Chains A and B, each alone.
Chain A
C-alpha cells in the first residue's frame, strides 16, 4: 500500500459531495424551519409548493458540487494550506507549529458512507476551527499523523530525529480502557445522576417555554389548551410532602435513564491507549470521535470520583488541552472507568518527572467551613418556609433540623478534604466528599495567577487564588491570605524561570 501524498493540492474523497450536501441541507432546513414559524399564521404556506422544493434542491446540489470542487488542501514543509469558497474564494495557510489539536470524528451519515471528518484547532488565534468534512479513513489517519508529528517536533526541539522515525501512532502503546457492553452499563449506572437530571430539566424547561409561546397563539384556541390554566391547576394542587417525595423519586429514576442514554451515546465502544508521547481515545455511537493528544499538550488532568464509582472501583479521567475561544467545549476528553492501575499509569507517564520531589500540603482557612454552613443554612430556609406556609405542619421544622445536621456534616467533610499540594514542579488540587475531583497540572504550564479578596475576607485574613492555564483554570477558594500570597509569587517565579514550551 502506498502512503497517501499530501504535498500537492488535492480534494476530499468523492463521497464528500454527499456529506457536504447533507450538511448544507441541514443548514437550509434550519433556516426554512425558522421561516415556517414566522409564517405560521399565514393561510397558505408558500414554501410547500413542490416546484419550489425541487428548485431549492437543484440549487443546493449545484452549490454543493462547486463547494466540493473548490475545496482543496495540501501540506507543505511548514504550512497546511486550504483553498475553498464558492462565492468568495479563500486561501488559508496555517503554520504547522500553530496547530494545537487534530481530531477525527464520524457522525451517523459519515459512518454510513465510511468517511471521516477532521477538525483542526489552533489555540489563541480566535479564528474559527478548521474542518475537512470527508476523507477516507486511511487518509484522515495519515493526515492527522503528519499534522501532529510536525507539531510535537517543534515542541520538543533537539529530539527531532527519533520522533520522525517513530511517528506518533507507531510507537508502543498500553491499552488503558476498552469498554465492553457490561462495563459501559456500569459506567452509565455510576454517572453523577443528579447532574444528568438537572441538565435534562434545563433542556425540558427551555422546550416548555418555546412550546408555550407557540400554543398561546391561534393553536391554543383550536385545541382548547391554555398553559396558564395548566399552571393554575398545578398551583392549586399545593405540593404536600408526599407529593414532593414522589416527585423526587420520579426525578431520580428519570435522571438514571438520562445518564444511561448519554453514556451509551458518548462512550459506546470506547478505546483509550497511552504511549510514551501521546494518548488516544475513540468513542461514540451515532457520532464517533477519535482524539490523539500529544502528552506535552495536556494542560490539566482531572480525576473524577463519586460514591457509586468508588463502590465499582474506578474513576473517570478528564483531559484538558489548550483550547481556542471558539471551541471551548470540544477540547475536554473524558475516559471513564479507569481503575487504580490505569490511574497510576497515566499519572507516572504524565507527571512522573514532576512528582519526584516531596509534596507539601495546604488546607483552606477554617473560616471557610463556617461561612459555607451559614450560606447553606440560609438557602434551606426558603424552601422550608414555602413548605410550612403550604402545609402548616410542624414536621417541616424537623425536616429543616435534619437538613441542617446533614449539611453541617457535609460541609465539614468537604472542607476537610479540600487540599492543595505542590512541590514547585507539580500542583495538585483535591476537593469534594461524595463527589471528588482531583486535578493535577505542571507548574510551568501556568499562564496567569489571580488573587481575589473582599473587604470581608481581608478582615478574616483569607483570599481566593485562581490559576489559569491554556486549558482552563483552577479556582482555590478561601486560602489563608498569607499562604495565597506566597503561592502567588512562588508560582510566578517558577513560570518566569521556565524556558520549556508550555503549549
Chain B
C-alpha cells in the first residue's frame, strides 16, 4: 500500500503509549517477586531475565511501529494505518459513516491528546478509532468528516 501523504501522530502519543507499556511491565515485575518470597532465587533470576528481554523488545517494537501509524483524510474517505510486524490499513468512505465523535480519557487529558472515533452501521467492527491526536486537530477532523457525511444523507 502507498505510504505517502499519511499524517503521523504528535510525539506525545508515543510517550503515552510507552508510559502504558511501562505501567504494564511494572505490574508484571511486582508479580515476579512472588517466587522470591518463597526463597526460590534461581527461578526469580530466570523470570527477571525473560522480563527484561521482553520489555526491551516491546519498547523497540513500539518505537518502530509508531513510524507506521498514521491517518489520512481524502476527498471521499478516511483511512488509518498502523503496525510494523502486523500492518493494518483500513478505509471508510464518508458516505458510509454513521457518526463520528471526539473523546478524551483522563490520561489523554493529562497529555493534552484526544481520540477521534468514526462509526459505521451495524457494529461490524469496521469502526476507526484514532487515539492520541492533537485536540484541535481532532476537532477539525471531526468537523470535516461531519460536513462530508452530511452531504450524503
Contact = CB atoms under 8 A, between A and B. Distances in A.
Interface of A: 123-124, 126, 299, 322-325, 328, 446-455, 458, 468-473, 485, 488, 492, 495-496, 498-499, 502-503
A468 B89 contact: no
Contacts of B128: 448
B107 interface: no
Interface stretch (B19-27, B30-38, B115-123): B115-123
A185 B9 CA distance: 59
Interface string B76-87: 110000001111
Report, nearest first, the 6 A-B pairs whose CB atoms are least far apart: A470-B122, A468-B126, A325-B123, A448-B126, A124-B121, A496-B76
Given A447-B96, A448-B96, A472 B91 contact: no
Contacts of A470: 120-122, 124
A448 B122 CA distance: 12
Instruction: Determine the main DSSP class of A at the interface with B.
Output: mixed
B91 A452 contact: no
23 contacts: A123-B122, A124-B98, A124-B119, A126-B123, A323-B122, A447-B92, A447-B121, A448-B91, A448-B96, A448-B120, A448-B124, A448-B126, A450-B88, A450-B126, A451-B89, A452-B87, A452-B88, A452-B89, A454-B85, A455-B86, A499-B95, A499-B152, A503-B121
B36 to A, nearest CB: 31
A498 B95 contact: yes
A342 to B, nearest CB: 27
A455 B85 contact: yes
Q: For chain B, which range describes its interface: under 10, 10 to 19, 20 to 34, or 35 or more residues?
A: 20 to 34
A499 B91 CA distance: 18
A147 B126 CA distance: 28
A272 B43 CA distance: 65
B63 to A, nearest CB: 16
Contacts of A485: 1
Contacts, number: 99
Given A450-B88, A452-B86, A454-B85, A496 B125 contact: no
A322 to B, nearest CB: 5
A166 B142 CA distance: 43
B90 interface: yes
B12 interface: no
Given A124-B98, A124-B119, A496-B93, A468 B124 contact: yes
Given A452-B89, A468-B125, 19 more contacts: A323-B123, A324-B123, A325-B122, A328-B123, A447-B96, A447-B121, A447-B126, A448-B126, A448-B128, A450-B89, A451-B90, A469-B122, A470-B120, A470-B121, A471-B122, A472-B124, A488-B1, A492-B76, A495-B93
Interface string B102-146: 000000000000000001111111101000000000000000000
A496 B77 contact: yes
Nearest to A450: B90
A126 B1 CA distance: 33
A71 B125 CA distance: 35
Given A495-B96, A496-B76, A451 B123 contact: no
B119 A451 contact: no
Q: Which of A447, A454, A473 gathers the greatest number of chain B CB atoms within 10 Å?
A: A447
Given A492-B93, A496-B76, A469 B84 contact: no
B95 A448 contact: no
